[in-house]
Amino acid sequence: MSTVPDNLRYTETHEWVENIGGGRYRVGITDHAQELLGDLVFVELPALGSQIRAGNPCGVLESVKAAADLYAPISGTVAEVNDALVENPQWLNEDPHGRGWIMVVHADAAAWDGLLDAATYARIAEA
Protein backbone atom coordinates (compact mmCIF):
# COMPACT_ATOMS: atom_id res chain seq x y z
CA MET A 1 0.00 0.00 0.00
CA SER A 2 1.23 3.48 -0.89
CA THR A 3 2.14 6.17 1.61
CA VAL A 4 -0.26 9.16 1.54
CA PRO A 5 0.92 11.90 3.97
CA ASP A 6 -1.94 13.84 5.56
CA ASN A 7 -0.21 17.23 5.29
CA LEU A 8 -0.19 17.16 1.48
CA ARG A 9 -2.90 17.69 -1.12
CA TYR A 10 -3.23 15.59 -4.26
CA THR A 11 -4.48 15.35 -7.84
CA GLU A 12 -6.19 12.49 -9.62
CA THR A 13 -3.10 12.32 -11.89
CA HIS A 14 -0.96 11.38 -8.86
CA GLU A 15 0.89 14.59 -8.06
CA TRP A 16 1.20 15.93 -4.52
CA VAL A 17 1.34 19.55 -3.38
CA GLU A 18 2.70 20.94 -0.11
CA ASN A 19 1.85 24.46 1.05
CA ILE A 20 5.23 25.85 2.17
CA GLY A 21 3.92 29.37 2.83
CA GLY A 22 4.12 32.73 1.13
CA GLY A 23 2.09 31.57 -1.85
CA ARG A 24 4.66 28.86 -2.59
CA TYR A 25 3.80 25.22 -3.14
CA ARG A 26 6.23 22.29 -3.39
CA VAL A 27 5.20 19.66 -5.96
CA GLY A 28 6.13 16.04 -6.61
CA ILE A 29 4.70 12.70 -7.64
CA THR A 30 2.97 10.41 -5.20
CA ASP A 31 4.28 7.15 -3.82
CA HIS A 32 1.53 5.44 -5.81
CA ALA A 33 2.74 7.09 -9.04
CA GLN A 34 6.34 5.99 -8.55
CA GLU A 35 5.14 2.43 -7.86
CA LEU A 36 3.15 2.44 -11.12
CA LEU A 37 6.07 3.84 -13.14
CA GLY A 38 8.76 1.58 -11.73
CA ASP A 39 12.46 2.49 -11.61
CA LEU A 40 12.80 6.07 -12.85
CA VAL A 41 15.83 6.76 -15.03
CA PHE A 42 15.20 10.23 -16.53
CA VAL A 43 13.44 13.43 -15.49
CA GLU A 44 12.67 16.44 -17.69
CA LEU A 45 11.93 19.34 -15.36
CA PRO A 46 9.90 22.44 -16.22
CA ALA A 47 11.92 25.57 -16.94
CA LEU A 48 12.56 27.93 -14.05
CA GLY A 49 10.24 30.94 -14.37
CA SER A 50 7.86 29.19 -16.74
CA GLN A 51 4.11 29.56 -16.41
CA ILE A 52 2.32 26.26 -15.84
CA ARG A 53 -1.41 25.56 -15.99
CA ALA A 54 -3.20 23.02 -13.82
CA GLY A 55 -3.89 19.82 -15.73
CA ASN A 56 -1.38 20.53 -18.50
CA PRO A 57 1.89 18.63 -19.01
CA CYS A 58 4.93 20.45 -17.61
CA GLY A 59 7.63 17.78 -17.63
CA VAL A 60 8.43 14.16 -18.44
CA LEU A 61 9.27 11.16 -16.27
CA GLU A 62 10.88 8.10 -17.84
CA SER A 63 11.25 4.73 -16.21
CA VAL A 64 12.58 1.42 -17.42
CA LYS A 65 8.93 0.54 -18.22
CA ALA A 66 7.43 3.71 -19.70
CA ALA A 67 7.54 7.45 -20.20
CA ALA A 68 4.85 9.61 -18.63
CA ASP A 69 3.97 13.28 -18.63
CA LEU A 70 4.20 15.21 -15.40
CA TYR A 71 1.01 17.24 -15.05
CA ALA A 72 0.89 20.58 -13.28
CA PRO A 73 -1.32 20.19 -10.21
CA ILE A 74 -1.80 23.96 -9.91
CA SER A 75 -1.39 27.02 -12.12
CA GLY A 76 1.41 29.46 -11.42
CA THR A 77 5.07 30.31 -11.97
CA VAL A 78 7.85 27.78 -11.46
CA ALA A 79 9.95 29.39 -8.70
CA GLU A 80 12.39 26.52 -8.08
CA VAL A 81 13.25 23.17 -9.63
CA ASN A 82 15.02 20.25 -8.01
CA ASP A 83 17.97 20.12 -10.42
CA ALA A 84 19.50 17.27 -8.42
CA LEU A 85 16.83 14.95 -9.86
CA VAL A 86 18.49 15.12 -13.28
CA GLU A 87 21.48 13.23 -11.87
CA ASN A 88 19.43 11.31 -9.28
CA PRO A 89 16.05 10.34 -10.77
CA GLN A 90 15.94 7.35 -8.40
CA TRP A 91 15.09 9.81 -5.59
CA LEU A 92 11.57 9.84 -7.02
CA ASN A 93 11.36 6.13 -6.17
CA GLU A 94 13.33 6.22 -2.93
CA ASP A 95 11.81 9.33 -1.33
CA PRO A 96 8.94 10.75 -3.44
CA HIS A 97 7.62 13.00 -0.66
CA GLY A 98 11.05 14.21 0.48
CA ARG A 99 14.19 14.72 -1.56
CA GLY A 100 12.27 13.58 -4.66
CA TRP A 101 10.32 16.86 -4.83
CA ILE A 102 10.18 18.23 -8.38
CA MET A 103 9.45 21.95 -8.24
CA VAL A 104 8.15 24.87 -6.22
CA VAL A 105 5.35 26.90 -7.77
CA HIS A 106 4.31 30.42 -6.84
CA ALA A 107 0.50 30.32 -7.07
CA ASP A 108 -2.70 31.86 -5.83
CA ALA A 109 -3.90 30.43 -2.50
CA ALA A 110 -7.15 29.31 -4.14
CA ALA A 111 -5.14 26.66 -6.01
CA TRP A 112 -4.72 24.73 -2.74
CA ASP A 113 -8.47 24.61 -2.14
CA GLY A 114 -9.12 22.75 -5.40
CA LEU A 115 -6.85 19.82 -4.55
CA LEU A 116 -7.81 16.48 -3.01
CA ASP A 117 -7.23 15.76 0.67
CA ALA A 118 -5.27 12.67 1.69
CA ALA A 119 -8.30 10.50 2.47
CA THR A 120 -9.94 11.23 -0.90
CA TYR A 121 -6.71 10.61 -2.80
CA ALA A 122 -6.09 7.35 -0.91
CA ARG A 123 -9.47 6.05 -2.09
CA ILE A 124 -8.60 6.93 -5.71
CA ALA A 125 -5.13 5.37 -5.49
CA GLU A 126 -6.57 2.13 -4.06
CA ALA A 127 -9.21 1.80 -6.80
Q: Within a domain: residue 76?
A: yes
CATH number at residue 64: 2.40.50.100
Nearest to 90 by CA among 57, 121, 61: 61
Q: Which domain holds residue 84?
A: 9-126
Task: Provide the pLDDT confidence category of residue 92 given band limits of 50, 70 and 90.
Answer: very high
Q: Within a domain: residue 2?
A: no
Q: Within a domain: residue 1?
A: no
Q: Within a domain: residue 66?
A: yes
Tell me: pLDDT of 106 over 70: yes
Tell me: pLDDT of 62 over 90: yes
Mean pLDDT, to the nearest integer, of 38-62?
Answer: 97
DSSP 116: B
pTM, 2 dp: 0.95
The residue type at 22: G
Q: Within a domain: residue 42?
A: yes
Instruction: Quote the number of domains for the chain.
Output: 1
Alpha-helical runs (H) found in the chain: 31-37, 84-87, 91-94, 110-113, 118-126
Percent above pLDDT 90 for the chain: 92
Task: Provide the pLDDT confidence category of residue 126 given band limits of 50, 70 and 90.
Answer: confident
Q: Within a domain: residue 18?
A: yes
Tell me: pLDDT of 1 over 70: no
pLDDT at residue 2, rounded to an integer = 83
β-bridge pairing 76-81 and 103-106: antiparallel
Q: Within a domain: residue 3?
A: no
- 3-state DSSP assignment of residue 13: coil
Q: Within a domain: residue 25?
A: yes
Separation of CA 105 from chain center: 11
Q: Give CA separation, 23 vs 8, 11, 64, 77, 81, in Å.
A: 15, 19, 36, 11, 16
Q: Give CA separation, 65 vs 2, 13, 27, 51, 53, in Å.
A: 19, 18, 23, 29, 27
Task: Provide the pLDDT confidence category of residue 127 given band limits of 50, 70 and 90.
Answer: confident
